[in-house]
Structure 1
Amino acid sequence: MECWGFLPAIAACLLGIVVSQTTLAPAVTDTTVGEFVTATPMILSTTAPGCSALNTSTCEPCAPGSYYDNDTLLCSCCPDPGLCLFPGACLACSRGFYQSLSGQQQCLPCNNGFYTDVTGSPLCKSCPPGSFSNNTGADTCMSCSPGSFSSQQNSTSCRPCPQGTFCNSTSCAQCPTCPVGTESLQVAAKECTPCRPGMHKAPHQNMCQICNSGFFQVRWGQENCDVCPENHYCPSPDVNPIQCPNDAFCPQGSTAPGYCMETFFRKSGETCELAPVTIALLVIGGGVAILFAILFGLRRKRDTDRELSMVRAPLLRKERPQGRYYGIPCDAEPVYAGW
């Protein structure tokens, strides 16, 4: 570069950083975020700041990312975050892009889970709970659809509601539990269904439960079951209690009528009593049992006597030794001597 004139101007031209704001043709700009077009060196035919006393045609515009400062006659970095596409102007980052540093030549796209919905943003914002973003450079977050949720910030997707919960609107941060008496059998449920007759669901339960034995429930969407009343029986939890027969017993919570044993018992008020034939049989049976006990005792005594006799027999048959007593053999017949 050939420069003449004042020394400051010569130094500026030697550095190649002085530009004319009055005669410089604007550079071609591209509004696509993340790209820039530098200005082509311009030929100056008229005076310009810093080059007014120079007879030169080679002064170049400031480089992208900087602008011409009239006070210092120097190219300076753009003071605010953004993108300088041509000398003397800084272009703000488009929606979905950001730049946190000054003097940068391009903007950066927001990451997944983040977005920015304004231009010239230095930072991206987190997607709030109930929304998500699965693309870079997003200028908005998408809401979770009914039946799904996202409970954290920066979510890149939504999850389906688990069993026993539901979401009937968009942007659910949590899936609430189905109210009492209702349930959701499938995941990603948008609504809950009421419990069928014969079933119930308490607040601490996730699924409908069958009524216990001796209870009934004939309505839809109930929290509790009712106990089968007295003088009725409930064979199934989804039917109304049935009246107890006259000859049967049905206490509270009965699943079937209870009967006295025919022939031997009969109903008497709220209890069963022995029938006359049962009493007669008991008397006869008692007599037979006593007689049997006596006979058994006698036989047992006879067997005992027989065993004792068998034990004594060898002792009675033991032979005495041969000898004489008073001059008479022991085995001699007695003789009458007379007196």
Structure 2
Amino acid sequence: MACWGVLASIAGACLLGMVGCQTTLAPAVTGTTAGDNVTDGTETPMILSTTVPGCSVLNTSACELCVSGSHYDNETLLCSCCPEAGHCLFPGACLLCGRGSFQPLAGQQRCLPCAQGFYTNTTGSSLCQSCPPGSFNNATGADTCGNCAPGFFSSQPASTSCNPCPQGAFCNSSSCAQCQICPGGTESLQTASRECTPCRPGMHKSPRQTMCQICTSGFFQTRWGQENCDACPENHYCPSPDVTPILCPSDAFCPKGSTSPGYCMETFFRKAGDTCQLAPVTIALLVIGGGVALLFVILMILRRRRDSDRELAVARAPLLGKERPQGRYYGIPCDAEPVYAGW
């Protein structure tokens, strides 16, 4: 057969990546089209055949390139499917997927870009890796992930963005997976804080709190960055939580936790130890006032009694002034006074 006679000469013309054989001196390439944006690495367009790849020494009259995802087999003289995942894209050979792309199946004709939040920094990848916590990726086909900037964090893998640290927390480095709570005596008033600021005098914050708190009434704190406040000591008073306790005046009272001195009422009271006592003038006034009150009560009683007698006299007056009828009883006028007869 002519095919066997010219096999040796045709083998030199059919290069690697082609299936070779011809039965005539004028081979014809049938049904060929240009591949879409497919190159061999040197930016030279390759020609893909729309016919079934591969041929035999008996019935093939053309040399055809192996389609993408397949390679030339020297033993069978046929195009064989790429046996491993991650090998695809270029015709005539099984080439590795580039960085940022992957292919989980064998014999495919294109690579897939990594999704947002995923990346691959090696060639021939069959899958993409998720961005670790503290990093992010918001583009497809990435070969690396970006680190979260100081003041931001990402706590979940495959993050597409970083979140700002909330108030009361901070992150002073890149790639933070979590923000740290400001330690005791410090705070962060804004989001995305890189550091914490100490509490001002007159304020405090425990490690469990997120913001500095004003000292309660009767307490003070004159230093920066404190976790608690001190009670105003005895014999002192603290009008403001951010000032040093003030010594109590000698004529005033200042128990522990006082915000202002307490005074006895002037003129009527005076300080005696820890209490207020009546002044002499107050005692004299009380005595005089008591005497006046007693005299007033006596006068009221006498007046009430006099009024009662007057009312009684008024009630008897009609009875005493009533006229008796004229006449004689036993020879004596009715209105005559009785005379003792000596009986």
Pairing partner for 1:337 from 327, 331, 342: 331
**Change beyond 3 A, Cα 1:225–1:5:** same
Q: Return the letter of the residue paired with 2:94.
A: C
Q: Report the counterpart of residue 24 of structure 1 in structure 2.
A: 15
Q: Report the counterpart of residue 124 of structure 1 in structure 2.
A: 128
- Counterpart check, 1:108 vs 2:132: no
- Counterpart check, 1:80 vs 2:84: yes
**How far did residue 295 of structure 1 move?**
3.7
Q: Report the counterpart of residue 283 of structure 2 in structure 1.
A: 279
Contact 1:38–1:64 under 8 Å retained in 2: no
Q: Return the letter of the residue paired with 2:281.
A: V
Q: Report the counterpart of residue 199 of structure 1 in structure 2.
A: 203
- What are the Cα deviations for residues 55-88 of structure 1, in whole angstroms up to 9, with x where unaligned? x75132322221233444432211112214132x
- What are the Cα deviations for residues 267-302 of structure 1, in whole angstroms up to 9, with x where unaligned? 111211111111111111222223333444455566
**How far did residue 36 of structure 1 move?**
10
Q: Report the counterpart of residue 190 of structure 1 in structure 2.
A: 194
Q: Report the counterpart of residue 22 of structure 2 in structure 1.
A: none
- What are the Cα deviations for residues 80-115 of structure 1, in whole angstroms up to 9, with x where unaligned? 12214132x211111111111111111111111111
Contact 1:229–1:241 under 8 Å retained in 2: yes
Contact 2:89–2:111 under 8 Å retained in 1: no
- Whole-Å Cα distance in 2 between the matches of residues 148 and 305 of structure 1? 101
- Whole-Å Cα distance in 2 between the matches of residues 301 and 95 of structure 1? 122
Contact 2:152–2:162 under 8 Å retained in 1: yes
- Whole-Å Cα distance in 2 between the matches of residues 96 and 36 of structure 1? 23
Q: Return the letter of the residue paired with 1:65.
A: G
- Counterpart check, 1:180 vs 2:184: yes
3-state SS, counterpart of residue 64 of structure 2: coil
- Whole-Å Cα distance in 2 between the matches of residues 101 and 291 of structure 1? 120
Contact 1:66–1:84 under 8 Å retained in 2: no
Unaligned runs of 5+ in 2: 5-9, 19-37, 333-340
Q: Return the letter of the residue paired with 2:217.
A: S
- Whole-Å Cα distance in 2 between the matches of residues 20 and 292 of structure 1? 148
**C-alpha RMSD over aligned residues:** 3.5
3-state SS, counterpart of residue 86 of structure 1: coil
Contact 2:220–2:238 under 8 Å retained in 1: yes
The worse-fitting range, judged by mean Cα deviation, of 63-72 and 128-137 is: 63-72
Q: TM-score, normalised by structure 2?
A: 0.77
**Change beyond 3 A, Cα 1:226–1:162:** same
- Whole-Å Cα distance in 2 between the matches of residues 71 and 308 of structure 1? 155
Q: Return the letter of the residue paired with 2:191.
A: V
- Whole-Å Cα distance in 1 between the matches of residues 73 and 164 of structure 2? 57
- Whole-Å Cα distance in 1 between the matches of residues 328 and 46 of structure 2? 169
- Whole-Å Cα distance in 2 between the matches of residues 120 and 268 of structure 1? 96
**Residues 1-339 of structure 1: matches in 2 within 5 Å?**
23-24=14-15, 29-31=39-41, 38-39=46-47, 50-51=56-57, 58-81=62-85, 82-87=87-92, 89-299=93-303, 331-337=325-331
**Change beyond 3 A, Cα 1:50–1:306:** farther
**Change beyond 3 A, Cα 1:84–1:289:** same
Alignment size in residue pairs: 303
Q: Return the letter of the residue paired with 1:190.
A: R
**How far did residue 316 of structure 1 move?**
6.7
Unaligned runs of 5+ in 1: 7-18, 42-47, 320-329
- Whole-Å Cα distance in 2 between the matches of residues 104 and 316 of structure 1? 143
- What are the Cα deviations for residues 96-139 of structure 1, in whole angstroms up to 9, with x where unaligned? 11111111111111111111111111111111111110111111
Contact 1:260–1:267 under 8 Å retained in 2: yes
Contact 1:36–1:105 under 8 Å retained in 2: no
- Return the structure number with greater strand share: 2
Q: TM-score, normalised by structure 1?
A: 0.78
- What are the Cα deviations for residues 246-284 of structure 1, in whole angstroms up to 9, with x where unaligned? 111111111111111111111111211111111111111
